[in-house]
Amino acid sequence: MIRTRGLTKDFVVSRTETVHAVRGVDLEIAPGELVAMLGPNGAGKSTTMRMLTTLVRPTAGTATVAGADVVAEPALVRRRIGYVGQGNGAGHAQRVGDELVVQGRVYGLDRPAARRRAGELLDALDLADLARRKVADLSGGQRRRLDVALGLVHAPRLLFLDEPSTGLDPHTRANLWEHVLRLRREHDMTIVLTTHYLDEADTMAERVVVVDHGRVIADDTADGLKRDLAGDRVEVTAATPDDATRLAALVERLPGGREVVLTGTHVTGRVADGPASVPVVVRAAGDAGLAIVAVQAVRPTLDDVFLALTGRSLRDGGPAGAAPHEDPTQERAAAAAGKDAA
């Protein structure tokens, strides 16, 4: 459904500054997949999506989307895909139902067909009671559902969602996802989304593409990423520091035991299988006469994966996961050349 080779975007911001937003991305997405692109602010997720949706022309590389080339056949790509961008697409003064009919007309449906399609989408996204409301009067979650409906007017088989749930409360996010996932099941859609929400990528997506500084740095199922790049841990709290020292040695001897850290009465270490390690630790501690206050298995999160890959946390620097580090994609080119790059 999507195939990119060396997809690249440089933004020439000024004579002295070029932003290397996307650097040689190779992606292969099969029909029916639900793929999340995850990464910190400025990683290049939106730019990649905007190239795939023909909104931004690549500087280099190729991309075939829904069977058409994004540079040579942009109109064909647009007809075959749905795109829900970060901003709200709907006109604020319009009524919800009219907005959907107009969108259907834009995609070439005649008026009765556009009305019929608008009715279907209003039902599918739970907007039927709001059809006569002005777009400006909708809540954030209702507005986002309308955005998704607008992206689906022409029944695309491939849907792009750029941060579909940013700014929505957890209940509204869950509701939006319920609708999107049902539509996906019913229409066998391929979905590519970008998100800042680690839990969303973890639970919704079947595949997670981790992007950082314009490059794909990992691409697997969430479970695969966690297993290969982060791994389970076991955490044990002992009654005394002496017992903790001996427990640390015990954790080290567990299958896959490594990276054991002892802090006072607290021991944590990487193990092959966290849950399976818990009864083993309890039994071995009992046999050795060591007192345990608490023991638990800790499964890794996608943030642990990102940390293992980059040494940085996606959670740093605010709710959107912005890392407050310097952005090395913003490279200052030498001013000497005195002319804009191509």
Ligand X SMILES: Nc1ncnc2c1ncn2[C@@H]1O[C@H](COP(=O)(O)OP(=O)(O)OP(=O)(O)O)[C@@H](O)[C@H]1O
Nearest to 169 by CA among 134, 190, 142, 188: 142
Beta strands (DSSP E) in 39-150 are: 60-65, 68-69, 81-84
Using CB under 6 A, which of 39, 82, 156, 231 touches ligand X? Answer: 39
Nearest to 222 by CA among 292, 117, 300, 284: 300
Helix (H, G, I), strand (E, B) or coil at 204: helix
> How far is 123 from 303, CA to CA, in rounded Å?
37
CB 46 → ligand X: shortest distance, Å?
Answer: 3
- Of the two residues 71 and 284, which places its CB atom closer to ligand X in the complex? 71
- Of the two residues 11 and 107, which places its CB atom closer to ligand X in the complex? 11
- Please report whether residue 59 would count as binding ligand X according to CB under 6 A: no
- Please report whether residue 53 would count as binding ligand X according to CB under 6 A: no
- Please report whether residue 257 would count as binding ligand X according to CB under 6 A: no
- Please report whether residue 41 would count as binding ligand X according to CB under 6 A: yes
Q: Is the Cα dihedral 255, 256, 258, 261 positive or negative? A: negative
Binding mask 18-37 for ligand X (x = CB under 6 A): -x-x----------------
- Of the two residues 51 and 118, which places its CB atom closer to ligand X in the complex? 51
- Please report whether residue 217 would count as binding ligand X according to CB under 6 A: no
- Please report whether residue 43 would count as binding ligand X according to CB under 6 A: yes
- Of the two residues 41 and 301, which places its CB atom closer to ligand X in the complex? 41
- Please report whether residue 333 would count as binding ligand X according to CB under 6 A: no
**195: its two tokens:** 């998100």
- Of the ranges 42-50, 106-114, 183-191, 332-340, which one interacts with ligand X (CB under 6 A)? 42-50
Beta strands (DSSP E) in 125-202 are: 158-162, 190-195
- Please report whether residue 85 would count as binding ligand X according to CB under 6 A: no
3-state SS string over 255-323? CCCEEEEEECCEEEEEECCHHHHHHHHHHHHHHHCCCEEEEEEECCCHHHHHHHHHCCCCCCCCCCCCC
- Please report whether residue 141 would count as binding ligand X according to CB under 6 A: no
- Of the ranges 11-19, 60-68, 95-103, 331-339, which one interacts with ligand X (CB under 6 A)? 11-19
> What values do phi and psi take at 160, rounded to 5?
-105, 130
- Of the two residues 55 and 284, which places its CB atom closer to ligand X in the complex? 55
> How far is 202 from 244, CA to CA, in rounded Å?
33
Using CB under 6 A, which of 47, 54, 103, 165 touches ligand X? Answer: 47
Using CB under 6 A, which of 4, 8, 18, 46 touches ligand X? Answer: 46
Ranges within 311-330 binding ligand X (CB under 6 A): 327, 329-330
CB atoms within 10 A of CB 226: 21
Contact 220, 207 (CB under 8 A): yes
Contacts with ligand X, residue ranges (CB under 6 A) = 11, 13, 19, 21, 39, 41-47, 327, 329-330
